[in-house]
């Protein structure tokens, strides 16, 4: 069942344009932050954080357990499938990095400098779980970024948007995927306001709940622990999907700064292994300061391709576990 759900979600996410536009605006995350703010006004910041963090996964787990208790009828099976698929569709690829990367590569191939600049800026704004101190040595802005740096960002965002949540779906089901994504959203630095919109009005809501500072960092600390094993699994899949020898050398022999936090070390590992696995080390052929978009496009195409190959290898492993009877 999980394998079928994964395949259906992958197809729908790439073909359902209305859902793509809705999710690309971080609609679910904005609603979660809005709910947290409203609850904090009533319950207090710390209690509101716990409610938003733990109650939805528990409700979802209870609902699915009730449905799964008696799957003798076709209706129960279909209901379980629909609820699980809908949950996963709302959680994967909130920033639509793969679509932005595809548009960027196409703009570079067509030598459309204006569109390429817009795509780079959009890709640069896409949120990482550790954007406050990105261990990948990135420039200060999209205009200053080299193609290699943006390629690393595409690979790292592939982990954050796709691989991590799919992994916890396979291991712990839809409730596990929901808990991971909520942890990811609550771990990110809060903006001063979040804009929510409905059919009648658009509203800006303060997102600064009054939780204690130490308690507010709990999701970020837990997220780093949740990411530690799967960051290494993702890096291994990148080795299989790209240049194994070069990627393995970057994994084992590249120095890691002791001052980095666990979250930063996770992102650093993904970035350097992914970069090495691309096997695109030569510098751009164009002179410094030139646009050279067609030459840069191969970084973006190959970064997107290696992420997709890693996901496909992961799906193959899930298929093997399903056929062996270890997953259902």
Specify the 3-state DSSP secondary structure of 84: helix
Distance CA 242, CA 278 (A): 6
Q: In the block, which residue shows the tokens 């779906």?
A: 169
- Distance between CA 294 and CA 108 in Å, rounded? 5
DSSP labels for 102-132? HHHHHHHHTT-HHHHHHHHHHHHHS--TTGG
Single pTM value for the model: 0.85
Q: What is the pLDDT of residue 24?
A: 67
**Under a CB-based contact definition with an 8 Å cutoff, are residues 64 and 77 in contact?**
no
Dist. CA 233–CA 327, nearest whole Å: 18
Nearest to 161, CA basis, from 99, 213, 73: 99
Rg (C-alpha) for the chain, rounded Å, is 20
Closest to 276 (Cα-Cα) out of 288, 284, 268: 268
Per-residue pLDDT of the chain (328 residues; tens, 9 = 90+): 899 999 999 888 888 877 777 776 678 888 898 999 999 999 988 899 999 999 999 999 999 999 887 666 888 889 999 999 999 999 987 667 778 888 888 888 887 888 888 888 877 776 655 544 443 444 555 556 778 888 888 999 999 989 999 999 999 999 999 999 999 999 876 554 444 444 444 454 444 555 566 678 899 999 999 999 999 999 999 999 998 999 999 999 877 777 788 999 999 999 999 999 987 654 444 544 444 677 788 888 899 999 999 999 999 999 999 888 888 7
Segment 289-307, tens digit of pLDDT: 444 677 788 888 899 999 9
Cα atoms in the 13 Å half-sphere on the side-chain side of 40 = 21
């Amino acid at each position: 069942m999980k394998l079928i759900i994964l395949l259906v979600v992958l197809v729908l996410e790439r073909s359902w344009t209305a859902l793509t536009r809705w999710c690309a605006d971080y609609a679910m995350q904005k609603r979660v932050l809005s709910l947290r703010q409203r609850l904090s006004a009533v319950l207090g910041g710390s209690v509101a954080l716990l409610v938003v963090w733990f109650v939805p996964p528990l409700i979802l787990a209870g609902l699915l357990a009730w449905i799964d208790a008696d799957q003798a009828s076709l209706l129960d099976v279909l209901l379980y499938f629909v609820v699980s698929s809908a949950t996963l569709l709302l959680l994967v690829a909130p920033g639509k990095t793969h679509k932005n990367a595809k548009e960027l590569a196409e703009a570079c191939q067509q030598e459309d400098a204006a569109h390429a600049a817009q795509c780079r800026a959009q890709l640069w704004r896409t949120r990482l779980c550790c954007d406050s101190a990105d261990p990948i040595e990135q420039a200060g802005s999209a205009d200053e970024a080299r193609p290699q740096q943006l390629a690393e960002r595409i690979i790292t965002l592939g982990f954050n948007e796709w691989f991590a949540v799919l992994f916890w779906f396979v291991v712990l089901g839809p409730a596990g995927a929901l808990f991971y994504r909520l942890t990811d959203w609550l771990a990110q630095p809060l903006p001063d306001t979040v804009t929510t919109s409905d059919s009648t009005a658009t509203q800006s809501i303060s997102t600064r709940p009054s939780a204690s500072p130490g308690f507010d960092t709990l999701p970020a600390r837990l997220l780093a622990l949740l990411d530690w094993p799967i960051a290494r699994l993702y890096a291994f899949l990148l080795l299989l999907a790209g240049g194994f020898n070069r990627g393995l050398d970057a994994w084992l022999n590249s120095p890691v700064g002791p001052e980095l936090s666990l979250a930063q070390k996770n992102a650093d590992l993904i970035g350097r292994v992914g970069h090495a696995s691309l096997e695109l080390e030569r510098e751009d052929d164009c002179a410094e300061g030139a646009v050279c978009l067609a030459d840069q496009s191969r970084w973006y195409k190959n970064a997107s391709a290696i992420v997709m190959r890693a996901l496909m290898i992961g799906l193959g492993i899930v298929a093997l576990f399903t056929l062996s009877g270890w997953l259902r």
